[in-house]
Amino acid sequence: MLTPEILSYIIGIVGLGGVIFSIWNAVKKPTDDLEIKQVVANKDLDNKATILAQKEMENKASLLAQQVVLQKETYDKKFAEMSVRLDSIDAKVNDLIATSNIWHLDITKILTTLSTIIDERIPRKVSDKML
């Protein structure tokens, strides 16, 4: 049965187990805390790196958008200048065509008048008239 010796032996073992558990817990707890802190720090570092990478990508995208806008404006200006030049060339060609048409009409009138004068003044042979 339970004698005082056995009872003190059981209390001693339980007490020794409690002391061992306390020592083990005192050694293990800082290690667990350190691991938890390390995991939290790694997550924070990953989050910060992700945020920095995202901001960098946003900055690059913004810069690229600005470059595209500037390039578009440059091309729009060049196309506007080319359009003005082409309109000027079209106007010059139209003037040239009109001048050429008038000149051809004047030459045709002059040649017709000369042909009429020549026909009236120089008699042709009968065989030439048939041609």
Residue 44: is its pLDDT beyond 70?
A: yes
User: Which pTM does this prediction carry?
Assistant: 0.42
- How do the domains of the chain map onto residue ranges? 4-130
pLDDT digit string, tens, across residues 13-33:
777 777 777 777 777 777 777
Q: Is the Cα torsion angle 28, 33, 34, 35 positive or negative in sign?
A: positive
Q: How far apart are CA 59 and CA 89, in angstroms?
A: 45
Q: Distance between CA 110 and CA 103 in Å, rounded?
A: 10
CA neighbours within 13 Å on the CB side: how many for 6?
A: 3
Spatial neighbors of 74 by CB under 8 A, at least 6 apart, are: none
Q: What share of the chain is helix, strand, coil (3-state, %, to 5)?
A: 95, 0, 5
pLDDT band for position 72 (50/70/90)? very high
Name the residue with tokens 């960098």. Answer: 56
Q: What is the C-alpha to C-alpha distance for residues 42 and 60, in angstroms, rounded to an integer?
A: 26
Phi and psi at 35, nearest 5°, equal -65, -40
Determine what percent of the chain is predicted with pLDDT higher than 90: 40
pLDDT at 127: 54
Distance from chain centroid for Cα 13 = 76
